[in-house]
Amino acid sequence: MTLDKLGPVAQGPDHEPATGVSRRAFLKAGVASGGFVLGFGLPAFLNGGTRAAPARFEPNAFIRIGSDGSVTLTMPQVEMGQGTYTSMPMLIAEELEIPLSQVRLEHAPPDTKRYGNPLIAGDQITGGSTSIRAFWEPMRRAGATARVMLIGAAAKRWKVDPSACHAERGEVIHKGSGRRIKYGALAGDAAQMPVPEKVELKRLDEFKLIGTPAKRLDTPAKVNGKVVYGIDARPAGLKIATLAQSPVFGGRLKSVDDSAARAVKGVRQIVRLDDAVAVVADHMGAAKKGLATLVLEWDNGPNAALTTGDIARELENGTLGGGAVAQDVGDVGKAIAGAATKVDAIYHVPFLAHATMEPMNCTVHVRKDGCEIWVGTQVIARAQATAAKTTGLPLDKVVAHNHLLGGGFGRRLEIDGVTRAVQIAMQVDGPVKVIWSREEDIQHDMYRPYFVDRMSAGLDEAGMPVAWSHRFAGSSIIARFLPPGFNNGLDPDTTDGAINLPYALPNVRVEYLRIEPPGIPTAFWRSVGPSHNVFVVETFMDELAAAAKKDPVDYRLALLDKSPRAKSVLQLAAQKAGWGQPLPSRSGRGVSMQFVFGTYMAQVAQVEVSKDGEVRVQRVVCAVDCGTVVNPDTVRAQVQSAVIFGISAALFGEITLKGGRVEQTNFDTYRVLRMSEVPAIEVHIIQSREAPGGMGEPGTSAVVPAVMNAIFAATGKRLRKSAGVDPAELKVA
């Protein structure tokens, strides 16, 4: 099914019909210099806009150059704020020799073969801070391949040696004769050139664009209201639905009295599912009003009495036994037995919600012979697949439109929302947009898992660690999300940040016990495995320093002789933060150091704790070595972003269950940091020629232990829970 057969993509009261290329299909981003256009729909549709079928040069899945000179880049990785719609074009443009201001961007359609992420099993996934690492070489190679073919086409036309020609700002130039020709004029010829098997990529010192603070390409449409997120999709004839799902996970809908809802102006239909009910209306105001009047009875099922305490106890008991061995170096048992001092601690890592600013939503139109979905997702191919599975339609009968995401943080790696919206849409005649209220979004999230970690260490007479034992229990997201990645009781995410630490530890044993708590779904959350492990490792390292009566920075540095990059970030962060300089009472600095996502990072957080126990983070200093930097401004922005995200979780973030229900509902009970609460954040980037590391997430995992360690420095109180500081614990007696 092509989009043409489906008719216009969108028509709304204020929008012209989608004939030719409408405002719906293209978003004029309004970059003064260039005419950058952010494509909205499928390539097939966009091609439909240029009817004359001109010669086109499409050397690979990412680049399309038209004879009109247009350069269209198809983005395999989605933009959810992290800047990938600027960094990916930078990688291509660097080798293709085109100005960034002249590119048009398209969301990739579902197509795992062409747009799979080589770092995540070839699945079409944006996550795990992998975009730059995965596409660092493929994108540059794509650009270089296209450039070589364009140069080849020009050389052939001019009957000169290609080596006498070069490319610059969208043109091929023959230096000897001064002739030049634009890429667009070469598109037809270049398409006939053989695709070179090997191309030479630029050396680092030849980069003109990579390493510069390029302006973001996605932002102009984000300051004038023209940007289109999934929640803004408006296909013709659209109805709006909102839903109530069983408040207890695993419960069923018993009965619905919808007599009052049916009387609400604008309400069209009540949709009943096994475990949810939805009200379909002309607009969300009517849908919400209708939903509020429903009299619902639920069968709460087996989880009706579940509390977070039950889960925590089960996990803690789990850590009493052994788990799958993730790392085993030396003989930990013997080393602890012979140690001068033993240190033990148990840590709790609570459930967390994502609370993306764009609440969960998905628009679906189910027909007898096909289905169309509009959604912003980190996994467009999975979204398409679940729509096919749910409707029973073949995959090629499902058209899936991706969008810019109003925040991802791992929430939009999951397709539960798409599945739910399709279930509802199957009962609705015409397209329907299902929007989660904020309460539904928070109470039916898929949460960062709860972990309990049992730590033991043995210290020698000088106080340095001779043994390190880490045993933890909790959910494996990989086992559900990417089952082949879960082997022998282990997966690479759950142990990330717990094993192969940069520290010199002679005897190490790390064990993981997979326990899937009943009654609450779990999922990735910004900084994934390290969001749990780095908190535990770095807080425990602080406890060891305290037990040894040593400075926490010096203590770590003494263990980092064999890891110079780790040592450098730690020294730099400490120095820039004024580590060791006196602070007022009830203020303190805390440090963390990590090597995760291919990036070395150290942070120093400075906090002030009031007499009432309220914590204020005043300043965060971050030193980062993420290897070769593509866009330094994005690196800074992502540290600022990730730090604030982490502090929100550390201070307020905890999700709790009572009677099987999530107790938090909205931003009043699930608080996040606000403008008046934000610390000063400094980012210091270490110049490096190493391979690039990920930057979307490391700032989050690093800041949580830094804050907790700073609270210890300020109050002497060691908090062993990673989220939701209870002021009562820190109050002056």
Partner 1 sequence: MAYALNVNGIRHTVDVDGDTPLLWVLRDVLGMTGTKFGCGMALCGACTVHLNGAPIRSCVTTVESVGSGAITTIEAIGNTAAGRKIQRAWLDLEVVQCGYCQSGQIMSASALLASNAHPDDSAIDDAMSGNICRCGTYLRIREAIKHAAKLPAASGKEG
Cα 223 from Cα 653, distance rounded (Å): 29
Of 240 and 623, which has the nearer Cβ to partner 1? Answer: 240
Cα 115 from Cα 654, distance rounded (Å): 36
The yes or no reply on residue 15 touching partner 1 (CB under 8 A) is yes
DSSP tag of 630: S
The yes or no reply on residue 667 touching partner 1 (CB under 8 A) is yes
Comparing CA positions, the residue from 712, 701, 314, 315 lying closest to residue 545 is 712
- Please pick, from the candidates 506, 672, 686, 718, the single residue that binds partner 1 as defined by CB under 8 A: 672
- Please pick, from the candidates 18, 248, 286, 711, the single residue that binds partner 1 as defined by CB under 8 A: 286
Of 312 and 605, which has the nearer Cβ to partner 1? Answer: 605
The yes or no reply on residue 292 touching partner 1 (CB under 8 A) is no
Of 154 and 629, which has the nearer Cβ to partner 1? Answer: 629
218 contacts: CB under 8 Å, gap ≥ 6: 29, 38, 79, 85, 86, 105, 227, 404
- Please pick, from the candidates 35, 138, 211, 285, the single residue that binds partner 1 as defined by CB under 8 A: 285
Residue 259 has φ and ψ, to the nearest 5°, of -60, -40
- Please pick, from the candidates 284, 296, 304, 583, the single residue that binds partner 1 as defined by CB under 8 A: 284
The yes or no reply on residue 265 touching partner 1 (CB under 8 A) is yes
Cα 12 from Cα 6, distance rounded (Å): 16
Smallest separation, CB 183 to partner 1 (Å): 27
Of 340 and 680, which has the nearer Cβ to partner 1? Answer: 680
Smallest separation, CB 607 to partner 1 (Å): 17
Contact stretch for partner 1 (CB under 8 A) within 344-352, 447-455, 578-586, 675-683: 675-683
What binding mask, one character per residue, do residues 340-359 give for partner 1 by CB under 8 A, x or -? ---------------xxxxx
Q: Please give the angle made by the CA atoms of 156, 158 and 159, to the nearest 5 degrees.
A: 60
Say if CB 362 and CB 369 are below 8 A apart: no
| Binding to partner 1 in span 75-94, by CB under 8 A | 79-83
Residues that contact partner 1, how many (by CB under 8 A): 71
Cα 297 from Cα 302, distance rounded (Å): 16
Say if CB 510 and CB 495 are below 8 A apart: yes
Crossing angle for the helix pair 416-425 and 380-391, nearest 10 degrees?
40
Of 638 and 722, which has the nearer Cβ to partner 1? Answer: 638
How many residues make up the chain in this entry?
733
The yes or no reply on residue 283 touching partner 1 (CB under 8 A) is yes
- Please pick, from the candidates 52, 53, 675, 728, the single residue that binds partner 1 as defined by CB under 8 A: 675
Smallest separation, CB 288 to partner 1 (Å): 7
Q: Where are the beta strands (DSSP E) in 170-301?
A: 171-174, 179-182, 239-245, 252-257, 267-272, 276-281, 295-299
Longest dimension (CA), the chain: 87
- Please pick, from the candidates 58, 282, 331, 663, the single residue that binds partner 1 as defined by CB under 8 A: 282
The yes or no reply on residue 126 touching partner 1 (CB under 8 A) is no
- Please pick, from the candidates 14, 197, 200, 274, the single residue that binds partner 1 as defined by CB under 8 A: 14
Say if CB 679 and CB 617 are below 8 A apart: yes
- Please pick, from the candidates 678, 688, 718, 731, the single residue that binds partner 1 as defined by CB under 8 A: 678
Comparing CA positions, the residue from 562, 563, 566 lying closest to residue 591 is 566
| Binding to partner 1 in span 371-410, by CB under 8 A | 404-409
Of 69 and 285, which has the nearer Cβ to partner 1? Answer: 285
The sign of the CA dihedral 515, 516, 520, 524 is positive
Cα end-to-end span (Å), the chain? 70
Comparing CA positions, the residue from 560, 600, 588 lying closest to residue 684 is 600
Task: Identify the burial level of 254 via C-beta atoms within 10 angstroms of its C-beta, where 0-12 means exposed, 13-18 middle and 19 or more buried.
Answer: exposed
Two structure tokens written together for 240 = 């709006």
Smallest separation, CB 641 to partner 1 (Å): 4
Contact stretch for partner 1 (CB under 8 A) within 157-165, 461-469, 672-680, 705-713: 672-680
| Binding to partner 1 in span 578-617, by CB under 8 A | none
The yes or no reply on residue 365 touching partner 1 (CB under 8 A) is no
Smallest separation, CB 289 to partner 1 (Å): 7
Of 15 and 586, which has the nearer Cβ to partner 1? Answer: 15
| Binding to partner 1 in span 694-713, by CB under 8 A | none
171 contacts: CB under 8 Å, gap ≥ 6: 180, 181, 182, 183
The yes or no reply on residue 33 touching partner 1 (CB under 8 A) is no
The yes or no reply on residue 288 touching partner 1 (CB under 8 A) is yes
DSSP tag of 450: P
Contact stretch for partner 1 (CB under 8 A) within 390-398, 417-425, 656-664, 669-677: 669-677
DSSP tag of 207: -
Number of other residues whose CB lies within 10 A of the CB of residue 226: 15
Alpha helices in 548-679 (DSSP H): 552-557, 564-576, 632-652
Of 191 and 678, which has the nearer Cβ to partner 1? Answer: 678
| Binding to partner 1 in span 235-264, by CB under 8 A | 240, 264
Comparing CA positions, the residue from 287, 247, 288 lying closest to residue 428 is 287
Smallest separation, CB 313 to partner 1 (Å): 32
| Binding to partner 1 in span 217-236, by CB under 8 A | 218-220, 222-229, 231-232, 234
What binding mask, one character per residue, do residues 459-498 give for partner 1 by CB under 8 A, x or -? ----------------------------------------
Cα 641 from Cα 471, distance rounded (Å): 31
| Binding to partner 1 in span 426-455, by CB under 8 A | 435, 437-438
